Structure 1
Amino acid sequence: MHLNVRPDAVLVQAVIAGALSFAHLHDLAEAAGQDGWKAWAYPVSVDLLLVAAWHRLRRLRDAGEPTRSAWTWFAVALAASLGANVATAGLLDLNAVPSWLRILVAGWPALAFLGGTLLVHTPAEEPAAAPDPEQGQDQADVQHVDVEPIHEPDPEPAVSEIPAPELAPALLPPPPPAPAVAVPDALLAYGRKVADEHRARTGSPIDADTLRARLGVPASMAASIAAQLA
């Protein structure tokens, strides 16, 4: 099996730039008093922080989350790399490194450790749980029944009745038939409940007057309800 390896100009350029930046960071750390293996560890630390910040930046961007923290540490690592490249270009005497630069180089490991820890261990926000389709279907199947309240008619105001003169039974005319009054089904059901409670409490059927007082309806309607409950 033959592998066709094609040189990539971007990859070659990245290798050259990484090697030069690595060497500049090593020279600057060595000039700042970090000799031996410590001088080689500095460019590794800077490059790792740069890669970690870029990786975290891409993940946050893909997830639609804020990327300010990742951009901050990416800028810090990039400034350290560019600063070493500029400092070793002849603008800084590596034989007489100023004190402030020695302090920055000496404090870099703690700063890099803090940045790497925050980038790796910062938890991402969990996406909101999707609603359960079966639960939504069950809720949609529930039928809402609107129950209208029963408005009982207002009782008629009491009218003072004038007693009629007593007549002899033979001369007393027959009473006129009571007109039929339409009773709503809900009111009739409520009257039946009241009549059942009265029978259970007293042992006798309820009369029209008691039914009228309990329901608060006119006498004609109470008589009609009592007739239907008889």
Structure 2
Amino acid sequence: MRAQLARVDAVLVQAVIAAALSFAHLHDVASAAGQDGWKAWAYPISVDLLLVAAWRRLRSGDAKAAGWCWFVIALTASLGANVATAGLLDMDAVPAWLRILVAGWPAVAFLGGTLLAHSTPTVVDEDTEDQEDAAEPAPDPTPALDPAPAAVSVPTALIDHARKVAAEHHTRTGTPIDTPTLRARLGIPAPMAEAIAAHL
């Protein structure tokens, strides 16, 4: 138990140190880019909040593509500030492109935060689902009976042709033509063949 608490404490202390350093680097970059006073302090808060919102979306398991997109954007902003303050950037002569990025960050963060907060996961209403299940009729236990065949309309010309085919069959075989043979000779569906056979 003590070992577990010590491990949790170590992780928590490390997280606090990392957050404080990253927070300070973001503040320094914002300040160097012309954002003074309270505005310079608002930038690290904005980046960290976007990171948290994206991480929560990833943990929820819903809309992970959006979560990863905004997580990478916020992480790039945080990591970029950390690297920039490591001596790679002249804090007294910040380039114009960085000033543009810093000035445009609030709009980007607002867009990301809004999309992450308002693209709520689809929740199935269990009560509605139960009502729909209850509304479905129970299956009839009695065996289903085949419905009576619907009347098939047969053109008179086809009946006349079938009579010729039946007469030729009778002449050749000496027996009346049966329905399967009539169907095969005419190339028609079974219901139509039965309807024609009734006319012969």
TM-score, normalised on structure 2? 0.64
2:51 match: 50
Structure 1 runs not aligned, ≥5 long: 151-230
Q: After the TM superposition, which residues 169-188 of structure 1 pair with which residues of structure 2 at under 5 Å, given as runs?
A: none
SS in 2 for 1:146: coil
Consecutive aligned runs of 4 or more in structure 1 exceeding 2 Å deviation: 125-136, 140-145, 147-150
Shift of 1:142: 4.7
1:32 match: 33
TM-score, normalised on structure 1? 0.56
SS in 1 for 2:142: coil
1:100 match: 97
- Aligned-partner residue type, residue 89 of structure 2: L
2:15 match: 14
Counterpart Cα distance in 2 of 1:133 and 1:38? 56
Counterpart Cα distance in 2 of 1:18 and 1:37? 19
User: If each structure's helix is expressed as a fraction of its own residues, which one has the higher value?
Assistant: 2
Q: How many correspondences in the alignment? A: 141
SS in 2 for 1:123: coil
When the two chains are superposed, the root-mean-square deviation of aligned CA atoms in Å is 2.4
1:68 match: 65
Q: 1:149 to 1:35 in 2, by over 3 A?
A: closer
Deviation digits for residues 194-217 of structure 1 (CA, Å, limit 9, x no counterpart) = xxxxxxxxxxxxxxxxxxxxxxxx
Structure 2 runs not aligned, ≥5 long: 150-200
Q: After the TM superposition, which residues 61-210 of structure 1 pair with which residues of structure 2 at under 5 Å, given as runs?
A: 61=61, 65-127=62-124, 130=129, 134=134, 138-146=137-145
